[in-house]
Structure 1
Amino acid sequence: MTDNEPICHYRYDLDALARHVSAVVAALPPRCRMFYAMKANSAPPLLRTLAPIVAGFEVASGGELAKASAAGARQTLFGGPAKTPAEISQSLRQGVSRLHAESVLELHRISDAAQRSGRTARVLLRVNLSGGFPPATLAMAGRPTQFGIEEAALGEAVRTALELPGIRFAGFHLHSLSNNLSAAAHLELLELYRRKICGWEAEFGLRCEAVDVGGGIGVNYADGGEAFDWTAFTAGLTRLVRTFPRHWKDIDFECGRFLVAGCGSYFTEVLDVKHNHGVNYVLVRGGTHHFRLPASWQHSHPFVVHPVDRWPTRLPRPELAGQAVTVVGELCTPKDVLARDVVVDRVRPGDVLEFRLAGAYGWEISHHDFLSHPHPEQLFHSRESPAPARESPAPARESPAPAREFRAPDASPRRRE
């Protein structure tokens, strides 16, 4: 142990990411395409790894659109419930493949921007269905949310999309659930989408070129929990797609979490262990300002303890063994909790915890500057590029001394950028 900063960083395995996403894409049946939902993680090295594998990126802001362009995205889909006029104009200038409209007013904004730019905007209507969905962690439709056009008001939106100049109606976008773990339930959801869209085509005299079925395929964060069965899902999808009308040329998925969660881990050093009012606490360098996902989703995030034997002999070293612990961060709030009531073999100050499945919605959704603690390093490793890589996740700021190097037992070579 030295006087350098405690260990605290994200580490991403770009090779594992490429293998996983390549297998996901290869299993899709004809007409089905996979887009990456950038909101899950927009780190440039991840985007550059994904760009040649997926059909393109789904973005939800002008900033994400700029990152997608810089990463070499082959196609870009622009969604989001509150696009500004400037973002709509930017998307048309940059040649997005489609915009997903979420209201009648937004259709008018798209039309205005298209006419001013002399372009035609290819548009899908995002619909907030009335319900009938399988259970999932988070519902995006079937209840009051800010997303999409209420199904009962779809007629006005369709008429508007067909009448406004500068707009080419291309189909519908349906994204109703998030973090669904059941392949069978997700197939039922797509069958519901098929029935709904076929009904709208008949009702409004339409023919859709494209149908976007959103994302929502989940990751199980419970230790030992069953993962979404992509093999079973794509086998059922192959049969289901045969029942889709042939004029639906593109059936698009836009997954984020399912593609990138497994490629990243959050490593953080234990600063202290103590007992307080009947609870064993493990206090770490970091917390929800770096990794907000556990607090956001109210779950206990899976982790492993990497023992570190170095320790200054002049300091006491408390430890907990074979007991349940609650892992908390360095923030001045009792809500800064990463895991609760997890039994560990042994944990001591100086050991390093690795929170796995941290590649999605970790750093991106965190309140980085609360209490002005240093940001974690972002490390990217790949066997194809032996030089280590570090990227700053935020604008330049005063940094502490470099953290001590720590290498997990299964870590492969890193590269710096």
Structure 2
Amino acid sequence: MNDTQLMTLAREYGTPLYLFEQTALSDRVALLRECLPARAELCLAIKANPFALPIIRPYVHRLEVCSPGELNICEACGTAPEEIVLSGVYKDEAMVRHALSLGDIHRYTVESLAQFELLRRLAQESGRRLPVLLRLTCGSQFGMDADDIRALVAAARDDAWIDVRGLQQFSGTQKTSLRRVERELACADALMAELEETCGFVCREFEYGPGLPVDYFDAPDPAAERAFLEQLGDKLDAMAFQGPLTLEIGRGLTACCGTYLTAVVDAKTNQKVNYAIVDGGIHHLTYYGGAMAMKQPPVRFLEETDGNGKQCEAVSPAAAIDDAEASAESWTICGSLCTTNDILVKSLPVRDMHPGRVLAFERAGAYCMTEGVSLLLSRELPAVVLADETGTIHLARPRTRTDPLNTPAVVP
């Protein structure tokens, strides 16, 4: 959306505000499908952005759910159970029972021997054979060692209640090392070959979480990103396993679709440093906050256009630096939390700073709206709006008070 459209949204819904755009998601999925193997299906890890479900569902095959709350969200959005992969390091009995009540969940991941026993017991109780993926660890708390997987494959042979479909492997997040990816895929290949040779177990499918990286601060380099994705695709194609492949992706799908708007509410100079206070802050931009004190984020002040689409008199940060005659000053942008950590940007060149000006932060489509310290100071949660493929705006969440969540239920 252009600046005028964003300003219209800011006036209508107020700031702070999140905007998630379907066209960005569509373009991102198209790029992934061009670069990755044709056999690869896409699974969205909804923890990255549950609000994007209505506008991303046409482009992905599955949704990864890791908590009872996420399962509730899927149910509320009308997600069919066969579209859900029930994952997560902690699956309690109530969560699994709820999943069973919804119908035939596509897959259940097994993170431990205890999870296997829980799933088997509830499968037997419900009279339903459950399709599972055994999760192979990559050296973190996620998944299981190869020895545990070997034991479960042997134990589950011809099991009446558990159908082991294959393996799942979660690489991590923000993974820029293709060599590490290659090592992980080789490890999975070796284990699958061993299981076939020693147990007669043929892996029928493989799900992999590649942890696609997102560069939040440098200018986008489409050629470099395409090259990275194509190399990843080559490594997936080079696997010995050539069966059905699912790629579980969160940030790498949704980061591109989000814009965060926040407005200046105060401006002052303390000890020769210019400070602008905005109505948002690091509680809304977790993956930016803090790091922005050292790096320049993709942020701009919105400038409305005239009737001909020409920008009104304004200066962007980059232009302010290059223009020797520009009367730009250096400003530190701080959020509304009463903590010295709430710094969004340092040394931002700005001309004509005043309350009411609106900043737009790009690449805010993953985690920002859910992972911040949103209850600190009991400020409202921002509204969330979705722009569908026609540009029509839909309110996904109104501005929401948090003080009821921080109010004691009993006062002595």
Q: Does the alignment reach a TM-score above 0.5?
A: yes
Return the offset for 1:40.
0.4
Spell out the pairing of 1:275-294 with structure 2 (5 A cutoff).
275-276=269-270, 279-294=273-288
Cα–Cα, structure 1 residues 180 and 59, in superposed 2: closer, same or farther, change >3 Å? same
Offset at 1:148?
Answer: 1.5
Alignment partner, residue 129 of structure 2: 120
- CA shift, 1:5, in A, is 9.5
- Give the conservation status (yes or no) of the 8 Å contact 1:89–1:114: no
Asked whether the 8 Å contact 1:294–1:339 carries over to 2, the reply is: no
Q: Does 1:88 align with 2:63?
A: no
CA–CA separation in structure 2 for the residues paired with 1:19 and 1:179: 20
State the Cα distance separating 1:306 from its structure 2 match. 2.1
Q: 1:342 to 1:49 in 2, by over 3 A?
A: same
Question: Given residue 267 of structure 1, which amino acid in structure 2 is its aligned partner?
Answer: L
Of 351, 355, 358 in structure 2, the residue corresponding to residue 352 of structure 1 is: 358
Match of 2:247, as an amino acid?
A: F
User: 1:213-224 to 2 correspondence within 5 Å?
Assistant: 213-224=208-219
Q: Quick check: 1:380 aligned with 2:386?
A: yes
Instruction: Give the number of equivalent residue pairs.
Output: 370
Give unmatched runs, 5+ long, in structure 2: 1-6, 306-325, 405-412
Asked if the contact 1:104/1:160 (under 8 Å) is kept, the reply is no
Q: Between the two proteins, what is the percent identity of the paired residues?
A: 28
SS of alignment partner, residue 64 of structure 2:
strand
The gaps in structure 1 that reach 5 residues or longer are: 130-141, 310-319, 400-417
* Cα distance between partner residues in 2 of 1:101 and 1:110: 8
RMSD of aligned Cα (Å): 3.4
Contact 1:111 1:164 in 2 (8 A): no
1:190 has 2:185 as partner? yes
Q: How does 1:253-272 map to 2 (within 5 A)?
A: 253-272=247-266
Aligned equivalent of 1:109, options 118, 121, 129: 118
Alignment of 1:2-13 (within 5 A): 7-13=15-21
Report deviation, 1:32. Answer: 1.2
**Structure richer in helix, relative to its length:** 2
Query: Which of 51, 60, 63 in structure 2 is aligned with 1:54?
Result: 60
Q: Give 1:165 shift.
A: 4.6
Q: Structure 1 length as normaliser, TM-score?
A: 0.77
> Greater CA deviation, 267-276 or 190-199?
190-199
- Aligned equivalent of 2:301: 305
Partner of 2:69: 63
Offset at residue 37 of structure 1 (A): 0.9
Q: Is the 8 A contact 1:121 1:167 kept in 2?
A: yes
What do residues 142-176 of structure 1 show as CA deviations (whole Å, max 9, x unaligned)? 2xx43221345443344444476511111111112
Q: Per the alignment, do residues 250 and 263 of structure 1 end up closer, same or farther by CA in structure 2, a change over 3 Å counting?
A: same
The TM-score with structure 2 as length reference comes to: 0.78
Match for residue 328 of structure 1? Answer: 334
Give the Å deviation of 1:67: 2.8
Instruction: Indicate the SS of the match to 1:169.
Output: strand
Report if the CA contact (8 A) 2:83-2:105 is conserved.
yes
1:180 aligns to 2:188 (yes or no): no
CA distance in 2, matches of 1:49, 1:276: 44
